[in-house]
A and B are shown apart, each in its own frame.
Chain A
């Protein structure tokens, strides 16, 4: 799909619009009262949006029995509107439900609802919002369900609900007892309390404790749980022929030879792609290779053109932070000195292990679709619109995702599969080839940063961050929000200075690159934290201070509770890692930290260059995500962020030549392997009562901590990713 098409489909999604209109109401109190369109207001709105946890509209409005069903085998089924893509939300949801049902989590089974039978999340699954989004709704539904069951049991046994004891999916009264399932089979109506009392945190039995994943057994036994694993009778297999060029337009196609290939049922030509449908995946793939398609490319792009386009000073300027008088401080040449440094990050692919795959089954005017999606509701809407069907006639069932990382929000190829099934009147399985997943997709945009600091008497008196990058979500927000924010809140996420420098400026330069760009684990903070935290290291060095002590000096904002939490966390990480500035053979330590919305993270990395290769030998990572619901899940997410952050920092880079993305498979797009695995230590700090994000914040300090360690080890600054290009 071309960039233009993606923008068009994105803007007409009613579900998305409904979410955003509510978003505007939320922002209204701070923004609409002011006259928007002027820079100070835009900065306020941007900064507000930058600090917001991802919204979860509508998850609280349903009664308990919409979320929770007691199955006949006495298993409690809980719908999760947040999809399971490895982040462990099904485990977290099971713990939340089990806690309020006074029942061991082994009695709870969390599943994805379809678009027809359970709660849908209009925001989708992303923005590290899963745990924060479900923590209260699932507990409220579970407590409400337990109270309803206790009331029904009390009625049955002619006693007071207070006399009923609930444990492990059974209700007890004296010597009598009944399972949840048997009681539900006997009773016809239940009343659900919408505001039930919840278990006090000091009494939690499952929440906050180490629990194995609830999907562990399925995943260890290889159960058929992914989108690609689904089956239907008389299933046909489709492989798409898509443009190998960025924004290539299909001019003509000769599929005569392909049609004669073994097993080919039909070749469908659509506006900008062809679908080969055959009796097996192998036959479809072989025939697809024989299709001769001609593509028109309007403009030839090479990597140098893209790098030249992504440059501070180009594109659309927007001031997103202006505190104090940084400009005046930089103009004053009489005092102090200025340090100015440039940084770059490369564009990157998601490269999840399960290529995008969809099963679509059109029958009697109705469509049933199974896929792995971070936005099932939007995919269903896209299908209904493209096929001119009513949404009620399109049921989409989300399967487990073989990785998401922000890459399954858009371009899920569900429409292609649905159209093909409708056309041939049989179920169709469309699984992308790895090549198509790499070439016909969207990417994390590359970025360019210029940072400068004015230093007087060993103090930073002013700092400025200018960043240029393409959009991540700007194309998907309505005009009024664009006007209100001015800059892309995802691309620029983490760009602002949180350190207490007296004068601070941050500017966004929105530039355009030819391919579709979008969200990737951590969104902008991967780039902004890299540039800022390497720069801070350079400033500390300039004034000959320990880089951690230097940061701590500027982390004293009493109005912002995060500063205190981060200071505490840094001390712990320092102790656990044994912070030292001494080199150990060829290895040395580097530090970086970040505030990602309300979550704070800090990491110490030990790295060096051994035999001409970058080696990260140890990573100690600390996180404070507020109240910790599922510590084992937090550990897994931190380990994941270390590996993915390391992969992105050292290896990953999207390269374009002759308008073609140059990596069609893993041999051209190396990622971190077992051989790259450092020794890992995770430090978890649980603070307060509120629940914040976990899946993305820990990626923020990874690249800069590695770069800072490599500098300490080698004396060479690593100012652009991937680092493998710099040695």
Chain B
């Protein structure tokens, strides 16, 4: 079945099994590898991405529901490498990753969080992000999200 949607701003038309989780379509058909497989059951958040601006766990999202929608993965979060998204810039400044595998999912969740809460405090972050990290980057993720919110606000106010 042909399915059409936009990925990181680009229109694509794919002939795939409509039940295939969006995760595997993004990774294996579109060759965008930032979105990770972690648990396959919507529990760990490694596969988080945005669909029409909302946060989804793509391992449990059949690709047929993406028809006509706009999908954003970590690869599409920043305009370009020079102008990083506030979350990626903050992640750089706080030197967040260790193994790095879960980080794309955390960054996608963080990008959504700072859209919804202008100045998230520690409790907001803890209450709203349930992704799993095993290396223990949690304290830096919390710092980076607060910093990302500040960067975003500074950018917005300078416009």
Q: Report how far A229 CA is from B78 CA in the complex, Å.
A: 21
Residues of B within 8 A of A431 (CB): 37
Residues of A within 8 A of B114 (CB): none
A244 within 8 A of B: no
A355 within 8 A of B: yes
A262 within 8 A of B: yes
Decide yes or no: A666 and B95 within 8 Å by CB, A221-B81, A434-B40 being known contacts. Answer: no
B residues 89-103 near A (Cβ < 8 Å) are 91-92, 95-103
**Which of B91, B102, B136, B142 sits near A642, CB closer than 8 Å?**
B136
Whether B136 lies near A674 (C-beta < 8 A) is: no
Residues of A within 8 A of B104 (CB): 222
Residues of A within 8 A of B129 (CB): 674
A567 within 8 A of B: no
**Which of B34, B78, B130 sits near A673, CB closer than 8 Å?**
B130
Residues of B within 8 A of A643 (CB): 133, 135-136, 138-139
A614 to chain B, nearest CB (A): 15
Decide yes or no: A213 and B97 within 8 Å by CB, A281-B28, A434-B38 being known contacts. Answer: yes
Whether A644 lies near B40 (C-beta < 8 A) is: no
Residues of A within 8 A of B34 (CB): 221-224
The interface bits of chain B over 75-96 (1 if a CB of A lies within 8 angstroms of the residue's CB, else 0) are: 1001001001000100110011
Of the stretches A13-21, A181-189, A399-407, A703-711, the one at the interface is A399-407
Decide yes or no: A434 and B17 within 8 Å by CB, A636-B95, A666-B44 being known contacts. Answer: no
Whether B134 lies near A353 (C-beta < 8 A) is: yes
Q: Report how far A282 CA is from B35 CA in the complex, Å.
A: 16
CB-nearest residue of chain B to A405: B134
**Which of B19, B81, B99, B126 sits near A85, CB closer than 8 Å?**
B99
A667 within 8 A of B: yes
Residues of B within 8 A of A632 (CB): 95
CB-nearest residue of chain A to B73: A222
Q: Report how far A673 CA is from B103 CA in the complex, Å.
A: 14
The interface bits of chain B over 40-63 (1 if a CB of A lies within 8 angstroms of the residue's CB, else 0) are: 110110100000000000000000
Decide yes or no: A262 and B127 within 8 Å by CB, A216-B97, A351-B134 being known contacts. Answer: no
Q: Report how far A667 CA is from B41 CA in the complex, Å.
A: 9
**Which of B31, B92, B99, B135 sits near A400, CB closer than 8 Å?**
B99
Decide yes or no: A212 and B92 within 8 Å by CB, A354-B99, A434-B38 being known contacts. Answer: yes
Q: Report how far A640 CA is from B134 CA in the complex, Å.
A: 8
B39 within 8 A of A: yes
Residues of A within 8 A of B131 (CB): 674
CB-nearest residue of chain B to A210: B95
Whether A220 lies near B39 (C-beta < 8 A) is: no
Whether B33 lies near A640 (C-beta < 8 A) is: no
Chain A: number of interface residues, binned into ranges: 35 or more
A641 within 8 A of B: yes
The interface bits of chain A over 300-341 (1 if a CB of B lies within 8 angstroms of the residue's CB, else 0) are: 000000000000000000000000000000000000000000
Residues of B within 8 A of A666 (CB): 39, 41, 43-44, 132
Decide yes or no: A217 and B132 within 8 Å by CB, A280-B17, A677-B138 being known contacts. Answer: no
CB-nearest residue of chain A to B130: A673
Whether A220 lies near B88 (C-beta < 8 A) is: yes
Whether A282 lies near B41 (C-beta < 8 A) is: no
A100 within 8 A of B: no
Q: Report how far A328 CA is from B112 CA in the complex, Å.
A: 66
B residues 111-159 near A (Cβ < 8 Å) are 125-127, 129-142
Residues of B within 8 A of A282 (CB): 17, 19-21, 24
A576 within 8 A of B: no
Whether B24 lies near A640 (C-beta < 8 A) is: no
Residues of B within 8 A of A262 (CB): 17
CB-nearest residue of chain A to B129: A674
Residues of A within 8 A of B135 (CB): 86, 403, 640, 643-644
Interface hub of A353, A640, A641 (most chain B Cβ within 10 A): A353
Whether B139 lies near A677 (C-beta < 8 A) is: yes
Whether B97 lies near A219 (C-beta < 8 A) is: yes
Whether B38 lies near A353 (C-beta < 8 A) is: yes
A residues 345-370 near B (Cβ < 8 Å) are 351-355
Residues of B within 8 A of A676 (CB): 138
Residues of B within 8 A of A680 (CB): 139
Q: Report how far A677 CA is from B131 CA in the complex, Å.
A: 13
Whether B95 lies near A674 (C-beta < 8 A) is: no
The interface bits of chain A over 584-605 (1 if a CB of B lies within 8 angstroms of the residue's CB, else 0) are: 0000000000000000000000
Whether B98 lies near A88 (C-beta < 8 A) is: yes
A residues 521-574 near B (Cβ < 8 Å) are none
A231 within 8 A of B: yes
B7 within 8 A of A: no
A279 to chain B, nearest CB (A): 9
Whether A674 lies near B99 (C-beta < 8 A) is: no
Whether B44 lies near A213 (C-beta < 8 A) is: no
Residues of B within 8 A of A225 (CB): 100
Decide yes or no: A675 and B127 within 8 Å by CB, A219-B103, A639-B140, A643-B136 being known contacts. Answer: yes
Q: Report how far A228 CA is from B125 CA in the complex, Å.
A: 29
Q: Report how far A433 CA is from B21 CA in the complex, Å.
A: 14
Whether B24 lies near A281 (C-beta < 8 A) is: yes
Q: Report how far A201 CA is from B45 CA in the complex, Å.
A: 44
A189 to chain B, nearest CB (A): 39
Residues of B within 8 A of A283 (CB): 17
Q: Report how far A283 CA is from B137 CA in the complex, Å.
A: 34
| 8 A-B pairs whose Cβ atoms sit less than 8 Å apart in the complex | A86-B97, A86-B135, A220-B103, A231-B31, A281-B28, A353-B38, A639-B137, A665-B41
Question: 9 closest Cβ contacts across the A-B interface?
Answer: A222-B34, A643-B136, A86-B99, A402-B101, A219-B100, A640-B136, A86-B98, A224-B33, A219-B97
